[in-house]
């Protein structure tokens, strides 16, 4: 057994080294395929020999589906905020204040201010022991399991002179590439989009499923070191050591001896930040000497030895080359501007959203126009204006297409909508494959099949809609390129497992227009089986909370269409869940009937999604904003200050989670 242990330890050491080469040095020495092969070998050995379990094994990078509610942990050192400045004059004021207070020479360390979510990492004897969010500055959430999936955070530090207890602080960020991909996926699923990478990173870090956290490719940047026995009295020197130990410290950090050097750094990075793969919104200035930091001290909110200088919003100008059109699973046709490549927010932008025909007309777009593009945390870049003075040899005026870009069917537009649709729902290939892609997503049927496989199976005429997935057999995969026995069995097992997905998620998976995840839950509660829902009238549907006439007409039209009613019938024959479970029916009450509840903050006993489900299950209504119609705010830690202020003005009662749970007893 000793040889197995040695093999496991050797694989861990090897994978840790490759992670360091790839994520810290950006110099991989093996292929992704070879890395995955080594990881699978390690995971198989660990599964067969649980006695050698190690929470800091590189295998934890893939995450786990164990649902752990976060516990609150007190910070040994408070996590203070920084005072923001917006001009060189304010930077000079800060510099002069420090000079007057110290009466001696000092250096300022300039660091990029990465726009993410703050994290505290504790290493004990060089091994990651704990990861805690900022929280209220005094205590935060223990998110260690999720942080272990972030590949450029070392699980074990390397090198000499590492203190036995070490706390480092930094930012967890979502790179622009991951953010764009995530929001494209959410848009396709008709889920709420993240406003910017910071919100996306924060939301991801608080997820209960660490497998999902791992899939979103978060990154970290370390900017501070704390402890009773730090190796140097210089913040700058400590950061250089942190980098040697394997922590990701930005290469942009610079120590400045004069105010002029500080200004030069600000000017340089106001331009150079556009090359970065992550969002940065400013520069942090810190007095380098730890002794001088202690002498300067802090107010109740901010340290006196540090400030943040904020950049202005980013914008770029480039040429409009052409306009193309995309069709989605619901038939909605969206125009896309194709641009001369331009660098913006760390990525090369080649395309921008034009939304609809009205937006095109408002801009008065012509091919060849010089256009202003912004991406200030937006989902995808957008054109905000046209430089009409730069026009010469004016190209054709942009006019909205009148035919589907995929099947050529004439488009239609409802009087009350700005969007054009392709009405050829049952024969337009892009719509059909889009509906299948929606059907299999994690929040719907959770079938492990990607767009490439769907396209392959559709092209081979093995599937024509999502119901055909349940007719697939092992022999269907024989002869398909890159499909072996294991891959085929895994997919078939995933399809079979999806038959136990609950009713409300099956409703969401159907892809009814305007029926997102929350609406599907409300419909399932109001109409506990599919027969009741298919027979419901528009008048009956609009009596359900938050179901307006537009959604009601879409639902009735869906079930009145023979194409979709036949699709549902075929799914029923395959054994999918089209009724609420007995457990769900038994726990359904009217204890919150007529009450509107806003959820704010983070919780210890249940997740936000679980509380939303409880509110619906007991007849209440969820709302995202406080208004005169709000009855209660269910408040956890770090409740939003805007909600708190508005609740005070409107006299809305604030309850904690214990009080809320007592209301349901």
Catalytic (active-site) positions? 113
Report whether 35 contacts 18 (CB < 8 A). Answer: yes
Instruction: Judge residue 625's burial from the number of C-beta atoms within 10 Å of its C-beta, 0-12 exposed, 13-18 middle, 19 or more buried.
Output: exposed
DSSP codes, 14-41: HHHHHHHHHHTSS---S-HHHHHHHHHH
Q: What is the largest CA-CA distance in the chain?
A: 83
Q: Are strands 596-600 and 621-623 parallel, antiparallel or unpaired?
A: parallel
Sheet holding 108-114, edge to edge: 84-85, 306-310, 280-287, 108-114, 254-256
What is the SS3 assignment for 308?
A: strand
Report how far residue 258's alpha carbon sits from residue 95's, in angstroms, rounded to the nearest whole number.
Answer: 9
Stretch (H or E) spanning 130: strand 127-133
Stretch (H or E) spanning 278: none
Q: Select from 374, 366, 276, 399 the least CA-distant residue to 316.
A: 374
Other residues' Cβ atoms within 10 Å of the Cβ of residue 308: 18
Please name the residues in contact with 627: beta carbons below 8 A apart, sequence gap of 6 or more: 650
- Side-chain half-sphere CA neighbours of 168 within 13 A: 31
548-563 core/surface letters (b: 16 or more CB in 10 A; e: else):
eeebbebbbebbeeee
Report how far residue 305's alpha carbon sits from residue 9's, in angstroms, rounded to the nearest whole number.
Answer: 44
Report whether 339 contacts 320 (CB < 8 A). Answer: yes
Report whether 588 contacts 617 (CB < 8 A). Answer: yes
Q: Select from 89, 109, 92, 78 the least CA-distant residue to 298.
A: 78
- DSSP character at residue 71: P
Instruction: Judge residue 237's burial from the number of C-beta atoms within 10 Å of its C-beta, 0-12 exposed, 13-18 middle, 19 or more buried.
Output: middle
Other residues' Cβ atoms within 10 Å of the Cβ of residue 149: 22
DSSP codes, 446-509: -----HHHHHHHHHTTS-SSGGGGGG--GGGGTT-TT--HHHHHHHHHHHHHGGGS-HHHHHHH
For residue 485, which phi and psi values (nearest 5 degrees)? -65, -45
Residues in the chain: 665
Report how far residue 518's alpha carbon sits from residue 525's, in angstroms, rounded to the nearest whole number.
Answer: 11
């Amino acid at each position: 057994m000793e040889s197995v242990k040695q093999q496991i330890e050797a694989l861990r050491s090897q994978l840790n080294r490759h992670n360091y080469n790839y994520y810290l040095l950006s110099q991989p020495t093996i292929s992704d395929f070879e890395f995955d092969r080594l990881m699978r070998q390690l995971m198989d050995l660990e599964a067969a020999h649980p006695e050698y379990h190690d929470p800091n094994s590189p295998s934890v990078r893939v995450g786990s589906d164990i649902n752990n509610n976060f516990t609150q942990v007190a910070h040994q050192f408070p996590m203070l905020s920084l005072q923001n400045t917006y001009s060189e004059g304010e930077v000079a004021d800060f510099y002069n204040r420090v000079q007057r207070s110290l009466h001696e020479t000092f250096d300022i360390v300039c660091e990029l201010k990465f726009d993410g979510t703050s994290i505290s990492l504790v290493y004990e004897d060089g091994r990651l022991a704990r990861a805690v969010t900022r929280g209220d500055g005094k205590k935060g959430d223990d998110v260690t399991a999720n942080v272990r999936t972030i590949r450029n955070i070392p699980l074990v530090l390397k090198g000499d002179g590492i203190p036995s207890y070490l706390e480092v602080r930094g930012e967890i960020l979502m790179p622009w590439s991951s953010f764009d991909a995530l929001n494209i996926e959410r848009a396709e699923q008709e889920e709420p989009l993240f406003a910017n990478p910071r919100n996306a990173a924060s939301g991801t870090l608080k997820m209960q499923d660490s497998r999902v956290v791992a899939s979103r490719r978060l990154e970290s940047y370390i900017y501070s070191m704390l402890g009773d026995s730090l190796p140097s009295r210089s913040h700058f020197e400590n950061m250089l050591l942190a980098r040697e130990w394997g922590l990701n410290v930005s290469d942009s950090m610079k120590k400045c001896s004069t105010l002029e050097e500080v200004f030069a750094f600000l000017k340089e990075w106001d331009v150079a930040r556009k090359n970065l793969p992550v969002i940065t919104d400013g520069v942090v200035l810190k007095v380098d000497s730890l002794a001088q930091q202690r002498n300067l001290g802090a107010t109740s909110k901010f340290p006196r030895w540090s400030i943040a200088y904020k950049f202005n919003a980013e914008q770029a100008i480039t040429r409009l080359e052409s306009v193309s059109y995309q069709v989605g699973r619901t038939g909605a046709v969206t125009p896309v501007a194709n641009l001369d490549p331009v660098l913006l927010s760390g990525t090369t932008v080649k395309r921008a959203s034009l939304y609809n025909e009205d937006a095109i007309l408002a801009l008065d777009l012509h091919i060849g126009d010089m256009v202003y593009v912004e991406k200030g945390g937006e989902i995808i870049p957008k054109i905000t204006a046209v430089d009409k003075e730069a026009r010469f040899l004016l190209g054709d005026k942009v006019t909205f297409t009148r035919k589907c870009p995929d099947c050529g069917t004439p488009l239609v537009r409802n009087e009350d909508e700005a969007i054009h649709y392709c009405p050829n729902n049952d024969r337009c290939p892009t719509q059909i494959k889009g509906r299948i892609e929606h059907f299999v997503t994690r929040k719907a049927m959770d079938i492990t099949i990607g767009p490439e496989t769907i396209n392959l199976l559709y092209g081979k005429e093995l599937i024509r809609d999502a119901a055909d997935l349940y007719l697939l057999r092992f022999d269907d995969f024989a002869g398909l390129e890159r499909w072996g026995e294991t891959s085929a069995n895994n997919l078939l097992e995933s399809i079979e497992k999806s038959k136990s997905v609950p009713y409300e998620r099956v409703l969401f998976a159907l892809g009814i227009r305007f029926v997102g995840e929350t609406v599907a839950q409300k419909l399932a509660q109001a109409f506990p089986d599919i027969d009741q829902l298919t027979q419901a009238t528009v008048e009956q549907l609009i009596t359900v909370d938050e179901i307006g006439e537009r959604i009601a007409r879409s639902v009735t039209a869906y079930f009145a269409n023979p194409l979709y009613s036949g699709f549902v019938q075929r799914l029923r024959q395959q054994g999918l869940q089209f009724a609420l479970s007995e457990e769900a029916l038994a726990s359904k009450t009217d204890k919150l009937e007529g009450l509107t509840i806003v959820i704010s903050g983070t919780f210890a006993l249940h997740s936000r999604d679980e509380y939303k489900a409880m509110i619906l299950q007991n007849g209440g209504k969820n709302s995202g904003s406080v208004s005169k119609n709000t009855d209660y705010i269910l408040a956890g830690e770090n409740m939003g200050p805007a909600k708190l202020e508005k609740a005070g003005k409107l006299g809305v009662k604030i309850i904690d989670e214990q009080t809320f749970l007592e209301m349901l007893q």
